[in-house]
Amino acid sequence: MRIHFFLLFGLTCPFLHAADPANSPPPFQIYAGYSWLSNSFNGLSGSGQPLNGMNAGLVFPEWRHLRIKLDYSLYRGTNLGDPQHAFFILSGGQYGTTFHRERFYAEALAGEGSLNGTWFSTANSGYRNGNTGTIASFAEFLGGGIDTPIGQHAAFRVEGGVQHSNFDPITPEAENGVPYHLAGIPDYFGRFSASMVWIPRLGSAILPSSERRSHPPVESEMVIESLNSMGHIHLFSDAWWSYLNVEGVEYDRHSWGRIIGADVDYSAEILPVVILRQPSKTDIWGDPLSQSHETVPGVGILPLGARLIWFDHAHVKPYYAIKAGMTGYTKKAFSQYATYQDFALDQSVGVQFRLYDRIDFRAAFGFFHQSNGFVVPSNPGLDEMNWNTGLSYHLGRLHPAP
């Protein structure tokens, strides 16, 4: 499984827009700064050392003290002569409150991390693809922090917590190249960061939560969608030989104002029909050991997501959507040594066309990722390029088309 992927919108965009701050949701926050990790990934007892790096991210407006946060962190260093090059892409919830001028918050984030293939040893001859250790892992972070305002549009943030990941060494290819857990390899790390927070909109995040705001009626829509394979790509995964057909329902609800000229909506989808065609016999990496394929039914639910849609009340509406969740199958997916369940990430870029007052047609190009985050040693994963279509029915208040 490979990660060469950076997904974090709008970190330096100057075009954020909103209505009167007194009547709009709390603002977005954009932050960047220094980050410190307490140990190296090959930091066995008595031979570890911290890693230095940076982090940056985006925090969405507050709803009943709760915010959605996207976080990217990167670390560099060397330990025992082995390079340590890591990054993590995490998202989750942040719950905060204010006391005098400061805002205190706790958060729980989850996502995926990536390491260079020689983090465990640079003596990599005889190893599959030259990797002496696994290069991707599911990751979680639990922590909290304090924001101290230093102006109308800025605050200073101090944050800390515990981060978990599961990177393991790999045996040489002569021994099937299987990841294994070596006693003493760290899984838990302390993480500390100090950063500057930019609040592009007046009426900062440090307003008292008791302050009432009026909200316009909510606009929302349901989309009946179909997703079908059109090719493969190596971003997070190793597998090339499986194919997807998906039918589902997407729900979009206008929740977070505007960013870079687009309405920002909450987005989620339920996939009652997921049809996977995969090789009937594979090795631990998902490489086919026969020419035959088998059909495996499954389901999916992706409850965490966002959609950016431009010109929402026009006849032609470009959009970008990203959703995260889980898929499950009746047989182990992508390898007979892997898992029945996988983490899923669905992204698409497309256009919606207004057909009638409440009905749109949409067409898009997408990327659907599935992998188990190395919860077991076999994690081929699948990165599927796809075309998708859908019919959207608007549920909320309608605006006349210009």
Q: How many CB atoms lie within 10 A of CB 294?
A: 11
145, 160 Cβ separation under 8 angstroms: yes
Q: What local confidence, expressed as pLDDT, does residue 223 receive? A: 95
Query: What contacts 348, CB < 8 A, 6 or more positions away?
Result: 320, 321, 364, 365, 366, 367, 388
**In angstroms, what is the C-alpha Rg of the chain?**
22
- Please state whether beta strands 82-99 and 220-232 pair in parallel, antiparallel, or not at all (unpaired): unpaired
Residue carrying structure tokens 């827009």? 17
Per 3-state DSSP, what percentage of the chain is helix, strand, and coil (rounded to 5)? 0, 55, 40
Q: What local confidence, expressed as pLDDT, does residue 252 receive? A: 93
Q: What local confidence, expressed as pLDDT, does residue 13 receive? A: 35
Between CA 360 and CA 191 the distance in angstroms is 46
Q: DSSP letter at 64?
A: T
Q: What local confidence, expressed as pLDDT, does residue 49 receive? A: 92
Q: What local confidence, expressed as pLDDT, does residue 116 receive? A: 93
Q: How many CB atoms lie within 10 A of CB 225?
A: 21
Between CA 382 and CA 388 the distance in angstroms is 17
Q: Which of 323, 295, 297 is nearest to 308 (CA)?
A: 323
Q: What local confidence, expressed as pLDDT, does residue 304 receive? A: 86
Q: Which of 141, 137, 139 is nearest to 108 (CA)?
A: 141
CA atoms within 13 A on the CB side of 185: 18
Give me the DSSP letters along 136-196.
EEEEEEEEEEEEEEEETTEEEEEEEEEEEE---BB--GGGTT-B-PPTT---EEEEEEEEE
What domains are there in the chain, each with its CATH number?
21-198 (2.40.160.20), 220-394 (2.40.160.20)
71, 31 Cβ separation under 8 angstroms: no
CA atoms within 13 A on the CB side of 163: 31
Question: What pLDDT, in 10s, does the model give residues 153-185?
Answer: 889 999 999 999 989 898 887 666 788 888 889
Query: Token digits for 140?
Result: 């979680």
The values of phi and psi at residue 88, to 5°, are: -135, 135
Q: What local confidence, expressed as pLDDT, does residue 227 receive? A: 93
Give Cα 8 to chain centroid, integer Å.
9
Question: What pLDDT, in 10s, does the model give residues 326-367?
Answer: 999 999 999 888 999 998 989 999 999 999 889 999 999 999
What residues pair up with 352 in beta bridges, in sequence order?
Answer: 317, 362
Helix (H, G, I), strand (E, B) or coil at 130: helix
Question: What pLDDT, in 10s, does the model give residues 225-245?
Answer: 999 998 877 776 777 888 999
Query: Token digits for 300?
Result: 């999916």
Q: DSSP letter at 61?
A: P
Give me the DSSP letters along 235-269.
SS--B-S-EEEEEEEEEEEEEEEEETTEEEEEEEE
Between CA 364 and CA 349 the distance in angstroms is 5
Query: Token digits for 396?
Result: 């909320």
Q: Which of 75, 85, 73 is nearest to 51 (CA)?
A: 75
Query: Token digits for 93?
Result: 């919830």
Stretches in the chain below the pLDDT threshold 70: 1-26, 174-176, 201-218, 236, 396-402
